[in-house]
Chains A and B, each alone.
Chain A
Amino acid sequence: MKKSFQIEIFDFFLKHKIENFIGVPDSTLKHFISYGLEKKKIIITTREEEAIGIASGMTMSDSNSLVFMQNAGFANSISTITSLVELYKIPLIFLIGWRGYLKNDAPEHLKIGKIQPDLLKIIGLPSKTLSQKNWKNSCVWALKKIQKNQPCALIVKREFYD
């Protein structure tokens, strides 16, 4: 996704009272993260589960949070999502970069990339894939979800090679 859209998405969430952006960097989301760093709104953690923990503590303190990660990190996080976020119904927005979307991405991403949509479904985390055309509708959908105390995920496809 182009830089300009990633910046617009960040600004959109800021404007709609998402106050904390916490996660582990992902090249698919690098413009989103760089822009957030410039705005001093980002906390980078050592692992994705740690980010989810911090975001949960902040969200329970009445300060809404978004957690960003690559889908490799999403795989790391499954137990935390099921036994913390879903179990306690903590309304976090996940922003996940989808490596392995392209069939000839680097080999370490292919398996997780292939099962990414199924993994989301199996753990019951509702998700929408962002595109440059529909991103705003999907972000509005995510805001409505968290207003109803429901966590959700927004997925950004990796559509280029390094």
Chain B
Amino acid sequence: MIRKEAMRLILAKINSEPIVSANGFISRDLFELKDKPSNFYMIGSMGLASSIGLGVALKNPKKKNFVFDGDGSILMNLGSLTTIASLKPKNFIHIIFDNASHESTGGQPTVTSKIRIKNIAKSLNYKVFEVKTKNEIENFFRKISSTVGPIMLIVKVQKSIIVSKRIDISPTKIKNRFIDSLKN
């Protein structure tokens, strides 16, 4: 399964809940698959999706808050996992699309072929799930309906040659419509 396919299946389970998506191809996939105001596309600030998502989750306790992260991206901000774990946001669902590479910059390897993010997150008392297939993604959403966060879903995906289009909404517009979506 490639990232875009996995993301399509995941998006079928998310309505108007906020999604903060990592810069690079992850935000581009999200934009192409299902653009909506409740998506916050990062186009810079590499590595910070989990932190921005944490801020949103802490202030929106009645919503489920999603972060779409990459393996390269979370490795840049591993410290954020300790902050998230210490604050224990119940409504925080951290999805990591793990292709063991920096696909947006040419497919250079990350270390997730050698180390397990799963084990790091488990040691921090995240509820961790790791999936590889479409069925497992379906099962994940069934399982988490009554699970208290922080939750991490690691989706093991293959590298892909499919590149989604660039985000053509201005950053301030991305922000303003995201802010409005949080008011509902």
Bound: A82/B43 CA distance, A: 11
**Chain B residue, CB-CB nearest to A60:** B179
1/0 per residue, CB under 8 A from B, across A86-117: the answer is 01111000000000000000000000000000
User: Could you tell me if A56 and B52 are in contact, using CB atoms closer than 8 angstroms?
Assistant: yes
Residue contact A87 to B82, C-beta cutoff 8 Å: no
When distances are taken between beta carbons in the complex, the residues of chain A under 8 Å from B20 are: 57
Chain A residues contacting B77 (CB-CB under 8 Å) are 47, 49-50, 53
Check A84/B45 contact, CB under 8 A, given A49-B77, A53-B52: yes
Q: A35-52 vs B: 1/0 string, CB under 8 Å?
A: 000000001011101111
User: Is residue A61 within 8 Å, beta carbon to beta carbon, of the partner chain?
Assistant: yes
Chain A residue at smallest Cβ distance from B80? A50
Binds A, one of B54-62, B112-120, B135-143: B54-62
In the complex, how many angstroms separate the beta carbon of A63 from the nearest chain B beta carbon?
Answer: 5
The answer to whether B175 and A57 touch across the interface, beta carbons within 8 angstroms, is no
Query: Chain A, 45-87, contact with B by CB distance < 8 Å: what is the 0/1 string?
Result: 1110111111111111111010000000000000110111001
Asked if A62 and B44 make an inter-chain contact with CB atoms under 8 angstroms apart, the answer reads no
Interface SS majority for chain B: helix
Distance between B18 CB and nearest chain A CB, rounded to angstroms: 9
Given contacts A61-B56, A61-B60, contact A49 B178 (CB under 8 A): no
Question: Which of B40, B45, B55, B79 is close to A80, meaning CB atoms less than 8 Å apart?
Answer: B45
Residues of chain A within 8 A of B172, CB atoms compared = 88-89
| Chain A residues, Cβ within 8 Å of B79 | 45-47, 50
Asked whether A57 lies within 8 Å of B53 as measured between CB atoms, the reply is: yes
Q: How far is the CA of A80 from the CA of B42 in the complex (A)?
A: 11
Is B110 interfacial (CB 8 A cutoff)?
Answer: no
Knowing A53-B55, A57-B51, A60-B182 are in contact, say whether A88-B174 is a contact too (CB < 8 A).
yes
- Chain A interface mostly: helix
Q: Give the residues in chain A near B82, CB-CB below 8 Å.
A: 46
The answer, among B56, B87, B171, B174, for a CB contact under 8 Å with A57, is B56
B 165-184 to A, binary, CB cutoff 8 A, 1 in contact else 0: 00000011011001100110
Per the 8 Å Cβ criterion, residues 27-48 of B in contact with A are: 40, 42-48
Q: Known: A50-B48, A62-B179. Contact between A84 and B42, CB under 8 A?
A: yes
Q: Does B83 contact A (CB under 8 A)?
A: yes
Are A58 and B59 in touch, CB under 8 angstroms? yes
Q: Which residues of B contact A50 (CB under 8 A)?
A: 48, 51, 77, 79-80, 83
Once the chains bind, are A82 and B44 in contact (CB under 8 Å)? yes
Among candidates A63, A87, A89, residue contacting B44 with C-beta atoms closer than 8 Å: A87
| Shortest distance between the CB of B41 and any CB in chain A (Å) | 10
B178 touches A60 (CB 8 A): yes
Q: Are B48's CB and A84's CB within 8 A?
A: yes
* CB atoms of B175 and A90 under 8 A apart: yes
Given the complex, which residues of B lie within 8 Å of A90, measured CB to CB?
Answer: 175
Most buried by B among A58, A65, A82, A89: A58
Closest B residue to A19 by CB, please name it.
B59
A residues whose Cβ falls under 8 Å from a Cβ of B: 43, 45-47, 49-63, 65, 79-80, 82-84, 87-90
List 3 A-B pairs, minimum CB-CB distance, nearest first: A57-B55, A83-B44, A53-B51
